[in-house]
Structure 1
């Protein structure tokens, strides 16, 4: 498979038509960046991002692992979560942002990338096996999805996503939706 602008644009459009969570995701992409920037967010806003990371799989993600991660995140003191998100919003490069987020219980690099997506939706693409595998199959990433993605792995993925965004003149949210749909088609 070769990634092209028309393929990316078509799959991003199909995402809105076919994905059950598309409407609520679009609302959160509009709402959460400003909410996180202002600091006027509650515990549920932050929890929503963690829940979304797993629930976008619509039950296909192992429930035990999902619940354990969500519970671990809930155990964080809210002031710690607020401080982490505020710091990420206002400073640091990608590695520093991921490093700060992964200090939170229940947040590994993939979940941290979900926070980056909802804080900076035009800049960051969430990292998951489905998205990575599409890029690998298209020859855009050399290695298969890592067993435990590291910050370095995300930076490799992010660099490729930036190149693709520039090549196709799309934002990160559009690229994410296209990769998700292309991955769903590969799984069918």
Structure 2
């Protein structure tokens, strides 16, 4: 499969029309960046990001692993969560998503993929969530060579993000549009 601008646009439109979580995702992409920037968010907002990461698979992700991650997030001291998110916001704003990812992974239940979800909701113009489906779509399109590392390291995430940014530039779209297309392509 070759990725083209037309294919990305078509699949992103399909995502908007057919994916059950699109509306809530769009709402959170509009509200969470400002909330994380200003510090005007609560436990529910942070829990939503972790729930979203796993639940977007609509049952295809092992339920026990999803529940464990959701419970472990609640075990973190909320001030530690706020501190990690604040540090990640500063890092992403400074153009260093890797530092943001690193800081977020200090939290229980937050590995690189979940941290990438936080970074996407911190700044959807700077970061993109990573998971096996998005990675597989890029690999099928010969945009990534290695199979999905479960989970990826920060360095592997940086390679993924660099590739996604390059594709978004090539197709003149934002990262959220590219994500939606990759998700549909890997279905």
Q: Measure, in 2, the Cα distance between the counterparts of 1:37 and 1:170.
A: 24
Q: Deviations over 1:30-52 (max 9, x none)?
A: 01000111101001001100000
List 4+ stretches of structure 1 deviating above 4 A. none
Task: Indicate the residue corresponding to 1:74 in structure 2.
Answer: 74
**Unpaired segments ≥5 residues, structure 1:** none
Task: Indicate the residue corresponding to 2:119 in structure 1.
Answer: 116
- Counterparts in 2 of 1:13-92, with a 5 A limit? 13-91=13-91
TM-score using structure 2 length: 0.96
Aligned residue for 2:76, secondary structure, equals coil
TM-score using structure 1 length: 0.96
* Counterpart pick for 2:169 among 162, 166, 169: 166
Name whichever of 58-67 and 144-153 sits farther off.
144-153
1:59 CA drift (Å): 1.1
Cα RMSD for the two superposed structures: 0.8
Q: Measure, in 2, the Cα distance between the counterparts of 1:5 and 1:116.
A: 25
**Unpaired segments ≥5 residues, structure 2:** none
